[in-house]
Amino acid sequence: MKSLFSAKNKEVIVGPLSLNNPITVQVLGICSSLAVTAKLEPAIVMGMSVTIIVAISNVIISFMRNTIPVRIRIIVQLVVVATLVTVVSQFLKAFAYDVSVQLSVYVGLIITNCILMGRLEAFAMSNRPWESFLDGLGNGFGYALILVIVAFFRELLGSGSLLGFHVIPASVYESGYVNNGLMVMPPMALIILAIIIWAHRTKVKQLQDN
Amino acid sequence: MNTNSNVYTIVYASVMVIIVAFVLAFFSGSLKERQDLNVKLDKKKQILYSLNLDLQDKDPAALYQQYITQELIVNVNGDVVERKGGFDLDIKTELAKKDESSRLLPVYECNIDGETKYIFPLYGAGLWGPIWGYIALNHDKNTVYGVYFSHAGETPGLGAEITSHVFQSQFPNKKIKNTTNDLVSIAIVKPGKTAEGQDYVDGISGGTITSHGVELMLKNTLVNYTSFLNK
Q: Is the confidence at residue B187, as pLDDT, over 50?
A: yes
ipTM above 0.85, yes or no: no
Please say whether the beta carbons of B205 and B161 come within 8 A: no
Q: Which of B16, B35, B39 lies at the smallest CB-CB distance from A76?
A: B16
Please say whether the beta carbons of B153 and B162 come within 8 A: no
- What distance in Å separates the CA atoms of residue A153 and residue B168, rounded to the nearest whole number? 28
Q: Tally Cβ neighbours within 10 Å of residue A1.
A: 4
Distance between terminal CA atoms of chain A? Answer: 41
The reply to whether B191 touches chain A by the CB within 8 Å rule is no
Q: Which of B17, B28, B155 lies at the smallest CB-CB distance from A90?
A: B28
Phi, psi of B153 (to 5 degrees): -160, 40
In this prediction, residue A1 carries a pLDDT of: 47
pLDDT tens for A25-62 read 777 777 777 778 888 888 888 888 889 889 999 999 99
Q: What DSSP state is assigned to residue A162? A: E
Q: Which residues of B touch A160 (CB under 8 A)?
A: none
The reply to whether A86 touches chain B by the CB within 8 Å rule is yes
Q: What percent of chain B has pLDDT over 70?
A: 100
Q: Which residues of A touch B20 (CB under 8 A)?
A: 79, 83
The reply to whether A163 touches chain B by the CB within 8 Å rule is no
Chain B closest CA to A158's CA: distance in Å?
Answer: 10
Burial B149-164 (b: 16+ CB within 10 A, else e): bbbeebbebbbbbbbe
Q: Where are the alpha helices (DSSP H) in A36-72?
A: 40-64
- What distance in Å separates the CA atoms of residue B189 and residue B102, rounded to the nearest whole number? 33
Chain B closest CA to A111's CA: distance in Å?
Answer: 15
The reply to whether B205 touches chain A by the CB within 8 Å rule is no
The reply to whether B15 touches chain A by the CB within 8 Å rule is no
Q: What percent of chain B has pLDDT over 90?
A: 45
pLDDT tens for B40-79 read 998 998 999 998 887 777 788 888 888 888 898 998 888 8
B9/A72 CB distance under 8 A: yes
Residue A93 CA neighbour count, 13 Å, CB half: 22
In this prediction, residue B153 carries a pLDDT of: 80
A87/B24 CB distance under 8 A: yes
Residue B146: pLDDT band by 50, 70, 90 thresholds?
Answer: very high
- Work out whether strand B187-189 and strand B200-202 pair parallel, antiparallel, or are unpaired: parallel
A93/B38 CB distance under 8 A: yes
In this prediction, residue B81 carries a pLDDT of: 86
All residues at 6 or more sequence positions from B9 whose CB lies less than 8 Å from its CB, including other chains: A69, A71, A72
The ranges of chain A with pLDDT < 50 are: 1
pLDDT tens for B130-144 read 999 999 999 999 999
Farthest CA pair distance, chain B: 86
> How high is the mean pLDDT of chain B?
89
Residue B185, CA distances (Å) to A163, B94, B144, B209 in order? 38, 20, 10, 18
Chain B closest CA to A190's CA: distance in Å?
Answer: 16
A90/B31 CB distance under 8 A: yes
Chain A closest CA to B104's CA: distance in Å?
Answer: 28
Q: Which residues of A touch B38 (CB under 8 A)?
A: 93-94, 97
At residue A166, the 3 state secondary structure works out as: strand
Q: Which residues of B touch A66 (CB under 8 A)?
A: 3
In this prediction, residue B117 carries a pLDDT of: 92
Q: For an interface test with B, which of A73, A86, A178 has the most B Cβ atoms less than 10 Å from its Cβ?
A: A86
